[in-house]
Structure 1
Amino acid sequence: MVYLDNAASTAISPEAVAAMTRAWEQPGNPMSLHGAGRHARRILEESREAIARALGARPSEVVFTSGGTESDNLALKGIYRARRAQDDRRRRIVISAVEHHAVLDPAQYLVDNEAAELVVLPVDERGRVDPADVRAELAGHAGQVALISVMWANNEVGTLQPISEIAALGREFDVPVHSNAIAAVGHVPVDFTASGLSAMSVAAHKFGGPQGAGVLVIGRDVACRPLLNGGGHERDLRSGTQDVVGAAGMAAALETAVDRFDENTAAVAALRDRLVGALQSRDGVTVNSRDDGLPGIVHVSFDGCEGDSLLMLLDAKGIEASTGSACTSGVASASHVLLAMGMDRASARGSLRFSLSHHNTAEEIDYVVSVLDEVCERARAAGLTGVF
């Protein structure tokens, strides 16, 4: 088996397993005052401090959640509601056209149910937002904008956004800026304080941590309303007994990813270059990702092929890849990310994402290359099932 879907979820690291095992050894609610509770609380707070150090944040800015989707929802809905409560004119939500559905869908929910107005920023052929478009929006509507949300790195094609420039514009016009940094953390340098962001979402399973664990990093001065009401945990932004084991695993995985960043990035970049070099020599193959994006993303379009057919034919060869975001896989439609980049629907439907990690090997890449011609030939013979 060759696993090339690391952008969907990575293998959990030994360090995370060890940290979680230690946390499991003794029961205890971190809010309890007895010895077991204090032990659990110490693990939770030490994990919070480790995550904050790795992300360039203060511990008080780290709010534990159940993962990236909850973090994005808390940021968009919570900040929107708080800003609108302060000033009812603030109803505009500004996002990019290539956001993950964990941002797109809560934004649309607010439009459908809470009188929000959605502004979708266009992107260029690389999938990149032009800060000039952000400035133009703010120059014309700063008093009506509740928040801006632009992802740090795109999970499908790997494009990095000019986050610091966008965050600076938000500060200039007194508008909070949130970033879905889920695809970025552990794979490119991320520093919350240096970025100037108001809020940032992170998920553990993208860098060797457990699934179901994440954080919203949010400034102490950023107004935000909770999604859940209860015991007032996590700055009263996320009530509910904290997942001590998940926090421990996330902290250990993130520390490991940061400590080994240079070594792992070099290994992944070498594998990427090996795969891209082989793909670029083939007719009917277009590499859409760039080497100045996420190092482990190789996004490719295959002329005359259906992505789902390619996916299943590769799977039969023991190769696991993706047609895009795992959160929308299985849906027979062209990726909104690729369409926003100007790709035609047929090419978008015939695209695959290979996402690499330092666990992959050169031999695995060579094996993938060796079966691609046969796989493409069979996929083209099957033909497109239809363009939606």
Structure 2
Amino acid sequence: MRELYLDYAATHPMTPDALSAYLHAAQEAGNAASVHRAGQRARERLEEGRAAFADAIGAHPLTVIANAGGTEGDNHVLQAVMAGGGHLITTLTEHSAVLAPARALQERGVDVTFLPPDRHGRVTPEQVQAAMRADTRLVSVHHANNEIGTVQDVAEIARVARAGGALMHTDAVQSLGVLPVNVVAWDVDFASFSAHKWGGPKGVGFLYVRRGLDLAPLTLGGGQEKGVRPGTHNVAGVYAAGLSAHVAAQAQADTYAHLTRVHDAFLAGLAAVPDLSFNHASDGSPKVVNVTAHGADGEALLMNLDMSGVYASAGSACSAGTMQASHVLMALGLSEADARASLRFSFGRATTEEDATYAAGVFARAVQFSRA
């Protein structure tokens, strides 16, 4: 049976460059915090990875904290910045790594404003401006949405936040390697990244922290990462993540063009399927297509696709297996039934236009079976 992986928004398989870098570093002895020669070699490898990643996002290496990924980075920023209370602004379409800590903060007395999106998943700088208050401490708005690909104007939103005296955080986990990323041009204070989204190792990520800002640690017990993120360094992971980020950033324009062709081929293959509607932003990330098959059973759709060897998703990978209606699609105004009948297809550099056409045909048959 032919197998076709179309869930790159959930995770990207490790690239040969990343795997080679990881194996090279993992075979070396030494803790990066040790002062002996083996430890210093590990420290050099760690800093090579950090510098390569910093270059990929237009930042200085000293502004990059190595961590375990986007979920940790999102939680770290929200919990550390809002520890003293105040007002937080975010959106209803954020990843659960932002929404969950925001709601936990709300339960502890923090005032949180959840901005509603338009039908395409966008929130505007004007909405943020209207929500700003004297005690607003943080604005957290993602760059590219993981379910519908909507790209927010984080630079303009950051300008509004800064003018109001607040800090700006963006979850940019879905961006690097697909969209142009420059945290300095965006003028954000914090940005979260996860290596496995661009083909680096799982369980490794980075948090950009604007130079001059102090961020309290979430955990205590060591001086690693300037005391902000203590614990023994994952040297091989950081090295592989940084080098693969640099490769992905260098290829971004070509990747974007390739994904656009794949995206368009997939949509063309669905043109004859009746009673479909599309939830992804037409001018968003070409990595993602989100489609509602009205009248179909979403779980049956996924099962039929899986049995045919096509692997897609009902939404965020963090909620996979639960078949809950997507909070992102519900925020767009979809009914629960339509949200449950919606699937996300996400493409990678290895996906071809022929793959996309084939997958569209398989999906068309799955829709027919699921409606029956």
TM-score when normalising by structure 2: 0.97
Match of 1:62 among 43, 64, 68: 64
User: What amino acid maps onto 1:149 in structure 2?
Assistant: S
Corresponding position of 1:116: 110
Alpha carbon RMSD of aligned pairs, Å?
Answer: 1.2
Is the contact between residue 136 and residue 165 of structure 2 (CA under 8 Å) also seen in structure 1? Answer: no
1:137 aligns with 2:131: yes
Aligned length: 370
Q: How far did residue 20 of structure 1 move?
A: 0.8
Dislocated runs of 4+, deviation >6 Å: none
Corresponding position of 2:150: 159
Match of 2:272 among 281, 284, 291: 281
> In percent, how many aligned pairs have the same letter?
38
Where do 1:37-116 residues align within 5 Å?
Answer: 37-81=39-83, 84=84, 90-113=85-108, 115-116=109-110
- In 2, distance between residues paired with 1:223 and 1:258? 28
- In 1, distance between residues paired with 2:195 and 2:355? 26
Corresponding position of 1:309: 300
Q: How far did residue 194 of structure 1 move?
A: 0.6
Corresponding position of 1:385: none
User: What amino acid maps onto 1:153 in structure 2?
Assistant: A
Q: Give 5+ residue unaligned stretches, structure 1.
A: 85-89, 382-388
Corresponding position of 2:209: 218
Q: How far did residue 205 of structure 1 move?
A: 0.3
SS of 2:82 mapped into structure 1: helix
Is the contact between residue 190 and residue 208 of structure 2 (CA under 8 Å) also seen in structure 1? Answer: yes
Q: How far did residue 64 of structure 1 move?
A: 0.6
Deviates more, 1:220-229 or 1:147-156: 220-229
Q: How far did residue 134 of structure 1 move?
A: 0.6
Corresponding position of 1:128: 122
Q: How far did residue 96 of structure 1 move?
A: 0.6
SS of 2:191 mapped into structure 1: strand
Q: How far did residue 369 of structure 1 move?
A: 2.2
TM-score when normalising by structure 1: 0.93
SS of 2:305 mapped into structure 1: helix
User: What amino acid maps onto 1:36 in structure 2?
Assistant: A
Q: How far did residue 256 of structure 1 move?
A: 1.1
- In 2, distance between residues paired with 1:259 and 1:291? 25
Match of 1:331 among 297, 319, 322: 322
Is the contact between residue 121 and residue 281 of structure 2 (CA under 8 Å) also seen in structure 1? Answer: no
For residues 156-215 of structure 1, what are the alpha-carbon distances to aligned partners after superposition, in whole Å with 9 as ceiling and x for unaligned? 000001100110011111200100000112210010111010000000000010000001
Corresponding position of 1:386: none
- In 2, distance between residues paired with 1:182 and 1:136? 27
Is the contact between residue 49 and residue 238 of structure 2 (CA under 8 Å) also seen in structure 1? Answer: yes
Is the contact between residue 312 and residue 346 of structure 2 (CA under 8 Å) also seen in structure 1? Answer: yes
Match of 1:206 among 183, 192, 197: 197
Corresponding position of 2:354: 363
- In 2, distance between residues paired with 1:300 and 1:370? 14
Q: Give 5+ residue unaligned stretches, structure 2.
A: none
Corresponding position of 1:6: 8
Corresponding position of 1:32: 34
User: What amino acid maps onto 1:110 in structure 2?
Assistant: L
- In 2, distance between residues paired with 1:247 and 1:223? 22
Q: How far did residue 262 of structure 1 move?
A: 2.0
